């Protein structure tokens, strides 16, 4: 790693909890490979996100990632917000500008990278989103803006799925395309899903390590209706959701490339450098070797 000196640019991540984050490992690996003089630190913010962002700006911090629970709350502390992040209603990356921080959502950039590398496109496709939290929101908004024709939003708490449907409709309303047909279902209503050939995004936390023998649904009929299953979870490498989908003939991928993709997109925004594919491959190898991704 570059020696820390008077010219070191300071970056970091704000959230709570934040001590488990693997972002410092990722960004220091990238800085080493790219020859950049930077340090990336976790900052646990107890509650006053507004003061934290103001303080970070006053201290000359070059950029920040934002994680749970501040991805939406941080937006009020910013001087500018990228259009897509505004539509999603969540920001995970702050970039220093002349008058304050500008907010971006690179989770969605990471998800697009995940799909590109897996050879999956959502344009003209029927999509199922399982979950209605922050990750589901990014996935739903991405599918709507990238031309999915049908969008089923399925969540244990249907109220939250309905609120997400409304947010997606409003997001589309401010864009140019007509947007997909959106339907909301409860998890116990999966049999109401009609037809097959769906791309499913598993955006719940069910199946996350250490609960690796769980899946959000065990319905074989549901998995038979899928052609692709994208699980946003990256530990374990192969989730039960992925196994069940593969057993019924669907292609399945995990969320590792989304994780790496969001970090790379943030890094590129902060440094103005393009990270070559070879470095991305090495980063994937490094994280796997360290046991940080499954
Ligand atoms: P979140 O906002 O807390 O949302 C959690 C979602 O999981 C909600 O829809 C919740 O349903 C559902 N859920 C939780 N327990 C459940 C259960 N027992 N049965 C059914 N549904 C359940 O979390 P998030 O930030 O969206 O993250 C969700 C997942 O995505 C996590 O596993 C996270 O690791 C992963 N993720 C990956 C990346 C990546 O880079 N690959 C990025 C972001 C997130 P209710 O609304 O009914 O409670």
Query: Of the residues 72, 129, 135, which should be mutated to test ligand 1's pocket, given the most ligand atoms within 8 Å of the CB?
Result: 135
Q: Is the pLDDT of residue 64 over 60?
A: yes
pTM of the model: 0.93
What's residue 2's pLDDT?
Answer: 78
What is the Å distance from ligand 1's center to 232 Cα? 9
Q: Are 112 and 261 in contact (CB under 8 A)?
A: yes
Per-residue pLDDT tens over the stretch 91-147? 999 999 999 999 999 999 999 999 999 999 999 999 999 999 989 999 999 999 999
Residue 216 CA to residue 140 CA, distance in Å, equals 18
Annotated catalytic residue 71: yes
What's residue 7's pLDDT?
Answer: 96
Q: Are 97 and 170 in contact (CB under 8 A)?
A: no
What's residue 171's pLDDT?
Answer: 81
How does residue 175 score in pLDDT terms, banded at 50, 70 and 90?
low
Residue 156, ligand 1, Cβ within 6 A = yes
Q: What is the mean pLDDT of residues 231-242?
A: 95
How does residue 24 score in pLDDT terms, banded at 50, 70 and 90?
very high
What's residue 15's pLDDT?
Answer: 95
* Residue in 69, 111, 108, 89 with CA at minimum distance from that of residue 169: 89
Q: Is the pLDDT of residue 176 over 60?
A: no
How does residue 293 score in pLDDT terms, banded at 50, 70 and 90?
confident
How is residue 64 written in tokens? 């920040």
How does residue 172 score in pLDDT terms, banded at 50, 70 and 90?
confident
Q: What is the mean pLDDT of residues 273-282?
A: 97
Measured in degrees and rounded to the nearest 5, phi and psi for residue 49 equal -65, -35
What's residue 260's pLDDT?
Answer: 96
What is the Å distance from ligand 1's center to 10 Cα? 30
Percent of the chain topping pLDDT 70: 98
Dihedral sign (CA 189, 191, 193, 199): positive
Alpha-carbon distances of 235 from 42, 87, 119, 257, 293, rounded to whole Å: 21, 29, 21, 12, 5
What is the Å distance from ligand 1's center to 233 Cα? 9
Q: Is the pLDDT of residue 177 over 70?
A: no
Residue 134, ligand 1, Cβ within 6 A = yes
Measured in degrees and rounded to the nearest 5, phi and psi for residue 75 equal -60, -30
Query: Of the residues 158, 205, 209, 259, which should be mutated to test ligand 1's pocket, given the most ligand atoms within 8 Å of the CB?
Result: 205
Residue 67, ligand 1, Cβ within 6 A = no
What's residue 238's pLDDT?
Answer: 96
Q: What is the mean pLDDT of residues 281-287?
A: 95
Residue 139, ligand 1, Cβ within 6 A = no
Q: What is the mean pLDDT of residues 242-248?
A: 98
How does residue 294 score in pLDDT terms, banded at 50, 70 and 90?
confident
Q: Is the pLDDT of residue 162 over 90?
A: yes
Q: Is the pLDDT of residue 174 over 80?
A: no
């Amino acid at each position: 790693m570059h020696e820390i000196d008077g010219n070191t640019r300071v970056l970091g991540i704000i959230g709570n909890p934040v001590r488990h984050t693997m972002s410092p490992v990722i960004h220091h690996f990238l800085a080493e490979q790219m020859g950049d003089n930077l340090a990336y630190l976790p900052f646990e913010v107890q509650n006053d996100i507004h003061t934290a962002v103001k303080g970070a700006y006053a201290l000359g911090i070059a950029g920040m990632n934002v994680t749970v629970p501040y991805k939406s709350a941080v937006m009020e502390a910013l001087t500018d917000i990228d259009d897509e992040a505004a539509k999603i209603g969540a920001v995970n990356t702050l970039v220093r500008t002349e008058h304050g921080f500008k907010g971006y959502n690179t989770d969605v950039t990471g998800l697009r990278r995940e799909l590109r590398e897996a050879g999956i496109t959502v344009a003209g496709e029927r999509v199922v989103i399982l979950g209605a939290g922050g990750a589901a929101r990014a996935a739903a908004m991405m599918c709507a803006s990238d031309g999915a024709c049908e969008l089923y939003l399925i969540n244990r708490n249907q109220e939250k799925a309905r609120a997400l449907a409304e947010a997606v409709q409003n997001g589309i309303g401010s864009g140019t395309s007509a947007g997909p047909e959106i339907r909301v279902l409860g998890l116990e209503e999966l049999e109401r899903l009609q037809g097959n050939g769906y791309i499913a995004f598993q955006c719940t936390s069910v199946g996350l390590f250490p609960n690796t023998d769980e899946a959000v649904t065990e319905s074989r009929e549901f998995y038979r209706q899928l052609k692709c299953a994208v699980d946003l979870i990256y530990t374990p490498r192969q989730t039960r959701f992925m196994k069940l989908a593969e057993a019924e003939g669907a292609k399945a991928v995990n969320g590792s490339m989304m994780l790496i993709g969001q970090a790379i997109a943030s890094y590129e925004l902060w440094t103005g450098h393009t990270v070559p594919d070879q470095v991305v491959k090495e980063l994937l190898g490094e994280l796997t070797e360290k046991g940080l991704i499954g």
